């Protein structure tokens, strides 16, 4: 008995060779619209869907395959009752469906798309055919992925049929396709109100050896199938670990938040050294010098391509990973000697989600990503008798940006020398802010003298400023907003510190 294939595809890549293979096996090809024209132009004999249904396409092509003859042929089982029903409506079994859908997601990716244009790319007949065929996978083969053409063709050429296991796997892919398609439509049409459901599709990228510790199972998922780490390409080194990926994410986010050339050194998901300079190779040494002990085994990010001079600036430092928008050929040659260092190339335009999720017991927290001071941020206010001088203000601007990716309670000491601005000590992740000031001071040592201090949140008491003054800090930037602001300002004046308040905080728990 001649078998029937129903073909209706938007993406016609690879279709003709597959259809030719079916025709060579005496399959009957049934197709509609543009698919039928493509097959006919290839010299294949095609039966129009309208000839099978004995009904013309209507509503400008919106209705073509929505007909009992089509869906009876798809859903019929190998039973006498179903065979009788097919005979009654003059339908025949359909054994294989080849279908992909209107490009809805690609259409709405255009920020200028109109609602009407988006609606016209909502596929109805294709989704219905796919679901019907997938439901009846015990008899019907459903092909929705171009990558499976060769697999199915090989099965048909070898045995003349597809196995139940293959049909089931193809049905799984078909239902995943329609699920994701409907999710995209719902997300587009749904007003993002407080009670809107959060839906996402993540694709397996890499099975990790383990998580934060060897006894924890872990895997890496991406928002796009077949993507690389952080949307980039691993150029050198063994596969990235769970902890590598966390540190790389922190380092890369910090690096791309700066416009001037920058080097960022991250250890345990928090920066321990950041420096900006006229050229990126001039930033690496001061970034490492901020905390050379913690820089051992760190992850380093740059927002400019890494060149040979940058690599030489690393000296003999052991680095777990380097991430940048590119690596010169000479840099890669030099880094090849650091056989345990991974090199990750990430385009600057690689998309970053505008929100982040964190799991808590019984659910998830969702928030917008802190991308720095918003455009409508309040102006800085000098609140002390002494205003920062020009050099101090430049250092404060840098320090305020550099403190934001540091784990709270974040305190950072920084300096400006010539065209470079850099951290000299970083403290964070402690239960109280005074300890973080002391931590930053210990790491800075003598370099704390004449530095400026940035704090991600307000000082609730004068004690933090008192410790800063003992270290030799000359100016402070902090959000303000404490009920004790007046006493903190008075302490700054008494200590001879210049202080500005930003009106914004940047906690990072």
Statement to judge: residues 51 and 99 lie in one domain: yes
Most confident of the ranges 25-29, 36-40, 305-309 = 305-309
Give the strand pairing for 218-222 and 203-208: antiparallel
Q: What is the dihedral of CA 348, 349, 355, 359, to 10 degrees?
A: -60
What's the first-to-final CA gap in the chain, in angstroms?
A: 67
Statement to judge: residues 185 and 247 lie in one domain: no
Strand partners, 363: 360
Whether residue 426 is predicted with pLDDT greater than 70 in this model: the reply is yes
Higher pLDDT, 35 or 90: 35
Instruction: Give the chain's length.
Output: 509
Order across the sheet with 28-31: list the strands. 47-48, 28-31, 4-8, 96-99, 141-143
pLDDT grade for 463, boundaries at 50, 70 and 90:
very high
Q: Has residue 202 been placed in a domain?
A: no
Active site residue 268: yes
Of 393, 428, 391, residue with least CA distance to 254? 428
What CATH number is given to the structural domain containing 448?
3.40.140.20
Grouping H, G, I as helix, E, B as strand and the rest as coil, residue 501 is strand
Q: Has residue 118 been placed in a domain?
A: yes
Statement to judge: residues 116 and 248 lie in one domain: no
Whether residue 225 is predicted with pLDDT greater than 80 in this model: the reply is no
Q: What is the pLDDT of residues 437-448, one digit of tens each?
A: 999 999 999 999
Chosen domain end from 134, 156, 189: 189
Chosen domain end from 189, 204, 238: 189
What CATH number is given to the structural domain containing 153?
3.40.50.1380
Give the strand pairing for 475-478 and 498-501: parallel
Q: What is the pLDDT of residue 345?
A: 97
Statement to judge: residues 165 and 263 lie in one domain: no
Q: Has residue 133 been placed in a domain?
A: yes
Statement to judge: residues 410 and 491 lie in one domain: yes
Q: What is the pLDDT of residues 165-185, one digit of tens each?
A: 999 999 999 998 888 888 888
Chosen domain end from 322, 345, 368: 345
The catalytic position among 25, 71, 135, 415 is 135
Q: Tell me how far apart the alpha carbons of residues 432 and 466 are, in angstroms, rounded to a whole number.
A: 15
Q: Has residue 196 been placed in a domain?
A: no
Number of structural domains in the chain: 3
Q: What is the pLDDT of residues 190-218, one digit of tens each?
A: 754 455 677 777 888 899 999 999 999 99
* Residues 6+ positions from 386 with CB-CB distance below 8 Å: 493, 496, 497, 498
- 280: which 2 tokens? 């990126």
Q: What is the pLDDT of residue 63?
A: 63
Statement to judge: residues 8 and 123 lie in one domain: yes
Q: Has residue 278 been placed in a domain?
A: yes
Statement to judge: residues 94 and 179 lie in one domain: yes
Name the strand (E) or helix (H) holding 256.
helix 242-256
Statement to judge: residues 419 and 305 lie in one domain: no
Statement to judge: residues 169 and 248 lie in one domain: no
The catalytic position among 268, 338, 416, 506 is 268
Q: What is the pLDDT of residue 192?
A: 42
Whether residue 291 is predicted with pLDDT greater than 90 in this model: the reply is yes
* Residues 6+ positions from 154 with CB-CB distance below 8 Å: none
User: What is the overall mean pLDDT for the chain?
Assistant: 90
- Helix ranges (DSSP H) in 121-210: 125-135, 149-159, 164-189
Q: Comparing 102-111, 152-161, 236-245, 370-379, which segment has the lowest mean pLDDT?
A: 102-111
Cα separations in angstroms, 75 against 6, 66, 95: 13, 13, 10
Q: Has residue 350 been placed in a domain?
A: no
Q: What is the pLDDT of residue 50?
A: 77
Question: Residue 356, Cβ neighbours under 10 Å: how many?
Answer: 12
Active site residue 338: no
Q: Has residue 480 been placed in a domain?
A: yes
Residue reference for tokens 């050429």: 157
Statement to judge: residues 140 and 259 lie in one domain: no
**Domain span at residue 176?**
4-189
Q: What is the pLDDT of residues 128-140, one digit of tens each?
A: 889 889 999 989 9
Mean pLDDT of 237-242: 93
Give the strand pairing for 381-382 and 233-236: unpaired
Statement to judge: residues 15 and 159 lie in one domain: yes
Q: Are 44 and 20 in contact (CB under 8 A)?
A: yes
Statement to judge: residues 43 and 109 lie in one domain: yes
Q: Has residue 289 been placed in a domain?
A: yes
Q: What is the pLDDT of residues 260-283, one digit of tens each?
A: 999 999 999 999 999 999 999 999
């Amino acid at each position: 008995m001649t078998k029937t294939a129903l073909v209706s595809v938007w993406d016609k890549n690879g279709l003709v060779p597959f259809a030719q293979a079916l025709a060579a096996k005496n399959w009957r090809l049934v197709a509609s619209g543009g698919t039928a024209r493509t097959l006919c132009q290839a010299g294949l004999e095609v039966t129009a869907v309208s000839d099978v249904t004995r009904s013309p396409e209507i509503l400008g092509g919106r209705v073509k395959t929505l007909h009992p003859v089509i869906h009876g042929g798809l859903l019929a089982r190998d039973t006498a009752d179903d065979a009788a029903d097919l005979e009654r409506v003059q339908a025949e079994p359909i054994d294989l469906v080849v279908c992909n859908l209107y490009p809805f997601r690609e259409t709405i990716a255009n920020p200028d798309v109109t609602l009407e244009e988006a609606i016209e790319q909502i596929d109805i007949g294709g989704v219905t055919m796919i679901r019907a065929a997938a439901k009846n996978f015990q008899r019907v083969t459903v092909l929705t992925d171009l990558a499976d053409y060769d697999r199915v063709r090989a099965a048909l050429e070898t045995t003349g049929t597809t196995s139940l296991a293959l049909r089931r796997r193809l049905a799984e892919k078909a239902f995943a396709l329609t699920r994701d398609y409907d999710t995209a439509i719902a997300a587009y049409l749904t007003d993002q109100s407080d009670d809107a459901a959060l839906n996402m599709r993540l694709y397996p990228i890499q099975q990790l050896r383990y998580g934060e510790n060897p006894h924890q199972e872990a895997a890496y998922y991406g928002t796009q199938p077949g993507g690389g780490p952080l949307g980039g390409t691993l150029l050198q080194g063994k596969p990235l670990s769970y902890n590598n990926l966390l540190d790389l994410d922190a380092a890369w986010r910090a690096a791309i938040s700066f416009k001037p050339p920058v080097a960022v050194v991250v250890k345990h998901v928090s920066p321990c050294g950041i420096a900006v300079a006229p050229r990126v190779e001039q930033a690496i040494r001061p970034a490492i010098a901020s905390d050379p002990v913690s820089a051992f085994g760190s992850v380093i990010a740059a927002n400019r391509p890494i060149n040979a001079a940058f690599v030489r600036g690393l000296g003999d430092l052991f680095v777990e990973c380097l991430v940048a928008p590119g690596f010169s050929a000479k840099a890669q040659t030099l880094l090849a000697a650091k056989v345990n260092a991974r090199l990750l190339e990430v385009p600057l335009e690689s998309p970053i989600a505008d929100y982040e999720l964190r799991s808590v017991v019984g659910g998830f927290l969702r928030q917008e990503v802190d991308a720095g001071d918003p455009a409508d941020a309040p102006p800085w206010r000098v609140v002390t008798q002494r205003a920062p001088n020009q050099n101090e203000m430049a250092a404060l601007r840098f320090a305020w940006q550099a403190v934001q990716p540091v784990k709270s309670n974040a305190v950072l000491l920084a300096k400006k020398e010539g065209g470079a601005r850099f951290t000299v000590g970083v403290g964070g992740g402690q239960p109280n802010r005074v300890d973080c000031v002391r931590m930053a001071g210990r790491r800075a040592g003598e370099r704390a003298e004449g530095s400026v201090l940035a704090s991600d949140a307000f000082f609730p008491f004068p004690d933090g400023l008192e410790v800063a003054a003992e270290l030799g800090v000359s100016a402070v930037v902090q959000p303000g907003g404490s009920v004790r602001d007046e006493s903190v300002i008075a302490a700054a004046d008494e200590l001879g510190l210049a202080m500005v308040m930003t009106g914004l905080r940047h906690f990072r728990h």
